Structure 1
Amino acid sequence: MTRLAASAPDPWSRGLLPLHFTASALVVHPPTGRVLLRWHARQERWLQVGGHGDPGERDPLAIALREAAEETGLADLTPWPDAALRHAVICDVRASATESAHQHADLRFILATQEPNAVKPENDLSPLRWLTVDEALTLAGANNLSRTLDRVKALLR
């Protein structure tokens, strides 16, 4: 990831690079200790929210906040317990009808909401679920999301 950031003219560009940056977030409701997962049809699994930077975007936290708001309908998202980067991981992405297989250098944050009932999926193919961290860990299985969830669990204690 360090080499990508230092050498690529636009490390966020999804069209030019087989490995490019994305930003994501695990949304939490601290009073209940629940986390929000989104069904990702392309990956066929429950994951955190997030995605690609729009042209010209470079701030990973701003990208994670924008993507999370778009995908959850939550208007009150804030970094929690602070704005620190919580996990960086390279993820394999399957080929689709429009893109070849590639990798995401995903920068992950934790965002909190105080209005969990305001959640609204962006479309019918991307349902959202509030879960306890242990329920989310069961769904994540061996996926690298489990490490992000472990970090959230420690912060919620």
Structure 2
Amino acid sequence: MSLHEDAVLVLKAYQDQPELRDVYLEHLEAHPDGMYKPCTAGHVTASALVVDPSRGRVLLTLHRKLGMWLQMGGHCEAGDATLTEAALREAREESGIESGLSLLPGGPVRLDRHPIPSPCNWHLDVQYAAVAPPEAVAAISDESLDLRWFGYDEVAAVADDSVVRLVEAVRARL
């Protein structure tokens, strides 16, 4: 099965946000290359909010290019067999937590479609939650200016509404 086919199956099984889910499915139907960065109509991305439920906190990265506090995530790569693998890879790479991360069961937590600069136009982000072990040690990657744990209630003061909605959705699933 290709990454494209996996994404279609994941999205068809996702029952929340039906209108937005349908936008993603229409995009993938119209664009066989819609999983990857070169697709100028936009592309699917995979992200994961790293969460430490035992301490009531999330790990956010200060994105180097955007200068915003965000969850870990990014572009799908040719070696990614599934969306879940892509999200977990991104979480590991950007958090520096090399072992012990596991995705929260139940598939994606949210979808978030946001504009990006031309020529790509859109990111169609499929958002997961990655649970960190209590002893996890984070390390800043080349893609980050900073990496920091925030209490659930601190996120709204530093991040945009999309991250706040993701935190709320993850907390509801925990």
TM over 0.5: yes
Give 2:168's aligned residue.
150
Q: Where does the alignment leave 5 or more consecutive residues of structure 1 unmatched?
A: none
CA distance, structure 1, for counterparts of residue 37 and residue 120 of structure 2 = 11
Residue 120 in structure 1 maps to residue 139 in structure 2: yes
What secondary structure does 1:118 align onto? coil
How far is 1:17 from its partner? 2.3
Q: Which residue, out of 67, 74, 92, partners 2:90?
A: 67
TM-superposition CA deviations, 1:106-153 (whole Å, max 9, x none):
000000111454111113843111001110122124x31221111123
Q: Is the 8 A contact 1:50 1:68 kept in 2?
A: yes
**Superposition RMSD in Å:** 1.9
CA distance in 2: counterparts of 1:41 and 1:51, whole angstroms = 13
The answer to whether structure 1 residue 129 and structure 2 residue 148 are counterparts is yes
Distance, in Å, in 2 between the alignment partners of 1:10 and 1:33 is 38
TM-score by structure 1 length? 0.86
TM-score (norm 2): 0.78
Cα deviations by residue, 1:39-73 (Å, 9 ceiling, x for unpaired):
01322210000101112535111100001101111
1:145 partner letter: V
| Aligned match for 1:31, one of 42, 54, 60 | 54
Give the match for residue 84 of structure 1: 107
2: distance between equivalents of 1:116 and 1:104? Answer: 33
Unaligned runs of 5+ residues in structure 2 are 1-23
Deviations 1:20-39 (A, max 9, x none): 00000100011101100000
